[in-house]
Amino acid sequence: MENTKVQIEKILSEADETTRKVVSEVFKIEQEALHTSTSYGVVEEMVNRIKEVVK
Amino acid sequence: MRLLSLSVENFRQFHAPFRIQFAIAEDRNVTVVYGANGAGKTTFLNAFTWCLYEKFTPAFEKPEHLLNEQAWSEAPKGSDVSCKVTVEFDHDGRRYEIHRVTTHRKQDSSEPQVIRDSELSIDVTEEGGSTTRVKVPDQVIGQILPARLFSFFFFDGERIENLVKPEAYQEIQDAIKTVLGLEVVERAIKHLGTAGKKLESELKEVATPETQKHIAEKQGYERDLDAKRSEKEKALANIEALKKEQSAIEEKLRGLEEAKRLQEKRDGLQKEYDDNEVSIVAVRKELARKCSRHGYLAFSKGLFESVVTTLNSHRDKGEIPSPMKRQFVEDLLERGECICGTALKEGTEPYDKVKGWKERAGLADVEEAWTRLCAHAEDLQSARDELFQFLNEKNSFLAARIAARTLLKQKLTAIGEALGSTESEEVRQLEDRRHRVVEQEDQFKKLIWNLDGELEKLDKEIKEKERQIQASQVQESKEKKARLRVQAARKAREVFEKILQLRTDDVRGQLDERIKNTYSKISYKAYTPGLNDQFHLQLTKAVGSADEAVAKGTGENQILSLSFVGALADLARSRLGDGGRTSQNIGFQGGIYPIVMDSPFGSLDENYREQVAGAIPLLAPQVIVFVTKAQGLGEVRQKFMPRIGREAVITYFTPKAEVEEEEIVLDGKRYSYIQRSGNANEWASVLEVSSAKK
């Protein structure tokens, strides 16, 4: 398990700043969607957040 | 989740309302419910699954008829009759009461009118005692024990062995992902794919004609890919349906006297055949892995010896520094005497000869490199020998498996022919139908094989188009920005895919370890269970230096499947202890879960029953089992006894006057087991057993 956590951190640290930001935003969107048990509007929200990250 | 009680009213054969409590003590965690075949054990199990998930186990027939027939027939016209189940459990310091109700109104027509259909409500009582009604009840249960997991914790013991069948692999994989809370990652991957396509369409609007052309082509390939995937999914669903049909036909053949013996023989051979296939695939994979890593050694015949010989020859000729140390030669010259005793005086021939050695004496790093090279050459040589030994062993094993496959195929064909030419027309028709079903399955398998090839090709085309889009020229900043957005979505998706893979592999490994541990406690056979990287539950035994898949009997399958369930429960529990409830994790957060199983000993012989009975209390912190008295008394009860916290008996009231009434004796007390109802109605009631020991 520890080794996996280290490897995940490595994957994230190897990604560029923009990718890390997008990963973080997408994770937040999915967390929220899972809480409310819905997928409605998730893709649109993702597109908007990606556009905000890459202005 | 710790189950406290179950209340049932008008649910199938349970007419009168009853409430049963379950054992919750840590040291007495087992509740045993005894009931005759058909008395309502499966109904009991399905009362849980209906109430919590509105789902049923595969053995539960006619799930659309839940309302008790007697209650319906006795109800006056115009009245409402409800079928109700309440499950009470505690979880994470709160007490939950889950109610599910279906209400029908009796009217003039014979068809009941549904007033409330499967209505769910949940009351939650906090530690302080305040109770509130939950607004979105489905979500609450899903967060405590996700629907994808319930079938592993509430199940029919006789069918649990299905977990070792290929149809269950996806279910196992999904369960593992759920236990690890990876739905959020899976969803992110799926949604990022769609988001990426949307962003690409926007890029197409502002891109150069060349890029537009590439994007259009890529989108075309993607459409093809989606269509092929969907075709594959349909083919897989068809195979599953055909397999079910095949199982049903075989079940019928087993029930016919003329076909029973041959069908049972076929069952055994088919198991052998399937296990043999697993072995063939496994050994081919091993061979491929070894060849891709060490295959180069096969082409190095004589190379390492020749390198060492050549280098030695160069060193002998003085072309490579010798192993002699420079310092050693310098010491001899300074001392003025050679190791052979010859005086070394400057200007003499012996002096010059020894001095010449100094020039050729090795530098330290060259010396070390030389030693290393020689050692490596030897290692590589022995690795080459090992490779050939490995290849010989595996190829002999493979040849034996392929020969066994041919033989098994011949035997299976012979049985098919024998069944197809019996005197019984019914058997002949069933066998003919089975033959056609198997042929259809094979056709779908071929189709999937072709589709896999096409999918792989399309995947490559899409990647190539992606590369061309990246390489094509950018004219405006608008296009540049749009490209970066597409790229960002793709890269983020790749990150999520890597994370999913890593964590899935990790948890598979953890489960594999736990399965081995549980299995070793139950089975006395020297087999090694495991969950391989394809999520197949397997049993192997050591044959020489190789592991060979074993032909599993029903008992072994059942033990293997139970070990998996125990491992899953343990993993869910450890996830809770492993920081499942941190801000970084979402969705399923792990937890402590009961195992509720119907007929865990159904098809096991006595030996296995005792072993399984010994292991069941260890599978989860709380266990509820439904057994017949034939299965659950005697040695089995003795094994359970130290852990039994509560017991109950289902009394079955039969309308048949000729049926002999039966009792069950528990700790010297008699309880009614089968009783004549004295009228045309059939029903069941539940009685909790009181015992001083518990």
Can you give the three-state secondary structure of B430-466, one letter per residue?
Answer: HHHHHHHHHHHHHHHHHHHHHHHHHHHHHHHHHHHHH
- Residues B436-447: tens digit of each pLDDT: 999 999 999 999
- Contact check, Cβ <8 Å, A33/B586: no
Helix (H, G, I), strand (E, B) or coil at B55: coil
The answer to whether the CB atoms of A19 and B139 lie below 8 A apart is no
Q: Which of B490, B304, B473, B273 is nearest to B387 (CA)?
A: B304
Q: State the pLDDT at residue B19.
A: 93
pLDDT of residue B610: 80
User: Dmax over Cα atoms in chain B, in whole Å?
Assistant: 134
Whole-number Å distance between alpha carbons of B228 and B225: 5
Contacts of A46 in chain B (CB under 8 A): 191-192, 195, 489
- Closest residue in B to A18 (Cα–Cα): B488
CA distance B578 to chain A (A): 10
Can you spell out the DSSP letters for B285-341? HHHHHHHHHHGGGGG-TTHHHHHHHHHHHHHHTTSS-EEEEHHHHHHHHHHTB-TTS
Listed residue (B536, B512, B549) closest to B169, CA to CA: B536
Name every chain B residue with its beta carbon within 8 A of the beta carbon of A53: 488
Q: Indicate whether B416 belongs to any domain.
A: no
Q: Is residue A27 part of a domain?
A: yes
B679 touches B74 (CB < 8 A): no
Give, as one character, the DSSP assignment of residue B22: -
The answer to whether residues B270 and B301 belong to one domain is no
Identify whether residues B128 and B224 lie together within a single domain. Answer: no
Nearest Cα neighbor of B137 from B116, B115, B118 is B118
Residue A24 in any domain: the answer is: yes
Contacts of B428 (CB under 8 A, 6+ apart): B419, B420, B421, B422
CA distance B320 to B313: 9
Instruction: Convert the pLDDT of each residue in B66-123 to its tens digit.
Output: 888 888 888 888 888 899 999 999 988 899 999 999 998 888 766 777 878 889 999 9
In angstroms, what separates the C-alpha of A28 from chain B's closest C-alpha?
10
Residue A48 lies in a domain: yes
Distance of CA B90 to the CA centre of its chain: 28
pLDDT at B242 over 70: yes
Q: What secondary structure does DSSP assign to B256-280, as a single string? A: SHHHHHHHHHHHHHHHHHHHHHHHH
What is the C-alpha separation between B575 and B200, in angstroms, rounded? 39
The answer to whether residues B123 and B271 belong to one domain is no
User: Same domain, yes or no, for B91 and B173?
Assistant: no
Whether pLDDT at B137 is above 50: yes
Q: Please classify residue B4 by burial: count the beta carbons closer than 10 Å to its beta carbon, then call 0-12 exposed, 13-18 middle and 19+ buried.
A: middle
Q: Do B492 and A19 make contact, defined as CB atoms within 8 angstroms?
A: yes
Last residue of a domain, one of B542, B573, B605: B542
Q: Does B195 touch chain A (CB under 8 A)?
A: yes
Instruction: Give the residue from chain B lying closest to A40, CA to CA.
Output: B191
Domain boundary among B542, B577, B602: B542
Whole-angstrom CA distances from B558 to B165, B387, B677 are: 11, 38, 36
Closest CA to B49 of B182, B128, B152, B171: B152
The count of structural domains within chain B is 3
**Cβ of A11 and B136 within 8 Å?**
no
Question: Which helix H or strand E contains B472, and what residues bound it?
Answer: none
**Final residue of a domain: which of B403, B434, B450?**
B403
B199 pLDDT tier (thresholds 50, 70, 90): very high
Q: Give the residue-averaged pLDDT of B462-481.
A: 84
Q: Verify whether the Cβ–Cβ distance B506 to A15 is below 8 Å.
A: no
Q: Are residues B362 and B471 in the same domain?
A: no
What's this model's pTM, rounded to 2 decimal places? 0.66
Among A11, A35, A54, beta carbon nearest to B481 = A54
**Domain carrying residue B537:** 169-294+422-542
Residue B394 maps to a domain: yes
Place of tokens 């969107």: A29
Residue A3 belongs to some domain of the structure: no
Encode burial over B524-555: b for 16+ CB neighbours within 10 A, e otherwise. Answer: eeebbbbbbeebbbbbbeeeeebbbbbebbbb
Q: Residue B100: inside a domain, yes or no?
A: yes
Averaged confidence pLDDT in chain B: 85
Q: Are residues B114 and B139 in the same domain?
A: yes
Q: How far is CA B573 from CA B521, B570, B624, in A?
A: 20, 5, 18
ipTM value greater than 0.85: yes
pLDDT of B586 above 50: no
Check if B500 contacts A (Cβ < 8 Å): no
- By the CB < 8 Å criterion, does A49 face chain B? no
Question: Are residues B77 and B21 part of one domain?
Answer: yes
A11 located within any domain: no
pLDDT at B583: 38
The reply to whether B316 falls in a domain is yes
| Segments in B68-182 forming alpha helices (H) | 69-74, 137-144, 147-153, 169-179
Residue of higher predicted confidence among B217 and B116:
B217
Q: How many CB pairs under 8 A join A and B?
A: 86
- Chain B hits for A28, CB-CB cut-off 8 Å, are none
Please report, for the domain that includes residue B16, its CATH number. Answer: 3.40.50.300
Q: Which residue of B has its CA nearest to A1?
A: B506
Closest chain B residue to A32, measured at CA: B586
Distance separating alpha carbons of residues B244 and A25, to the nearest angstrom: 44
Q: Would residue B672 count as lying in a domain? A: yes
Query: pLDDT per residue over B360-410, tens digit each?
Result: 665 666 767 777 887 888 888 888 999 999 999 999 999 999 999 999 999
In angstroms, rounded to a whole number, what is the distance separating the alpha carbons of residues B509 and B532?
A: 9
Between residues B643 and B372, the one the model is more confident about: B643
- In whole angstroms, what is the distance from residue B491 CA to residue B192 CA? 10
**Residues B268-299 pLDDT 10s:** 898 889 888 888 988 998 899 999 989 888 88
**pLDDT above 70 for B249:** yes
Specify the amino acid at residue B627.
Answer: V
In this structure, is residue A36 part of a structural domain?
Answer: yes
- The answer on B666 and B628 residing in a single domain is yes
Tokens of B291: 């060849």
Question: Is A7 inside any structural domain?
Answer: no
pLDDT band at B585, cuts 50/70/90? very low
- The number of domains in chain A is 1
Separation in Å, CA of B487 to nearest CA in chain A = 9
Q: Identify whether residues B6 and B102 lie together within a single domain.
A: yes
Q: Between β-strands B622-627 and B594-598, what pairing exists: parallel, antiparallel or unpaired?
A: parallel
pLDDT top residue among B538 and B586:
B538
pLDDT value at residue B96: 94
CA nearest neighbour of A24 among B110, B491, B574, B634: B491
A39 CB neighbours in chain B (<8 A) are: 187, 191
Q: Is B139 on the interface with A (CB under 8 A)?
A: yes
Query: How far is B137 from B121, CA to CA, in rounded Å?
Result: 6
How close is the nearest chain B Cα to the Cα of A52, in Å?
10
User: By CB neighbour count within 10 A (0-12 exposed, 13-18 middle, 19+ buried), where does B558 fall?
Assistant: buried
Burial (CB count <10 Å: 0-12, 13-18, 19+), residue B195 = buried
Range of the domain at A32: 16-53
Instruction: Take residue B692 and report the two structure tokens written for it.
Output: 């001083």
Residues B101 and B123 in one domain: yes
Q: Is the pLDDT of residue B423 over 60?
A: yes
B199 touches chain A (CB under 8 A): yes
Handedness of CA B136, B141, B142, B147 (dihedral sign): negative
CA distance B279 to B305: 37
Least confident of B11-15, B442-446, B524-528: B524-528
Q: Chain B residue closest to A48 (CA)? A: B195
Domain contains A20:
yes
Q: How far apart are CA B320 and CA B372, in angstroms?
A: 15
Residues of chain B neighbouring A37 (CB-CB closer than 8 A): 136, 138-139, 142
Sign of the CA dihedral B550, B553, B554, B558?
negative
**CA atoms of B76 and B125, how far apart (whole Å):** 37
Tell me, yes or no, whether B645 lies in a domain.
Answer: yes
**Cβ pair B619, B569 in contact under 8 A:** yes
Question: What residues of B are in contact with residue A8 (Cβ under 8 Å)?
Answer: 499, 502-503
Residue reference for tokens 């402590």: B592
Distance from CA of B586 to the nearest CA of A (A): 6
The CA distance from B273 to B438, in Å, is 15
**Contact yes or no for A34 and B184 at CB 8 A:** yes
* Nearest residue in chain A measured CA to CA from B507: A1
How far, in Å, CA of B571 to CA of B153, rounded? 13
For residues B196 and B133, membership in a common domain is answered with no
B681 close to B655: Cβ distance less than 8 angstroms: yes
Question: Are B399 and B307 in a shared domain?
Answer: yes
Q: Smallest Cα–Cα separation from B39: which of B668, B631, B694?
A: B631
pLDDT of residue B577: 56
Q: Does A46 touch chain B (CB under 8 A)?
A: yes
In a domain, B311, yes or no: yes
Residue at B202 is within a domain: yes
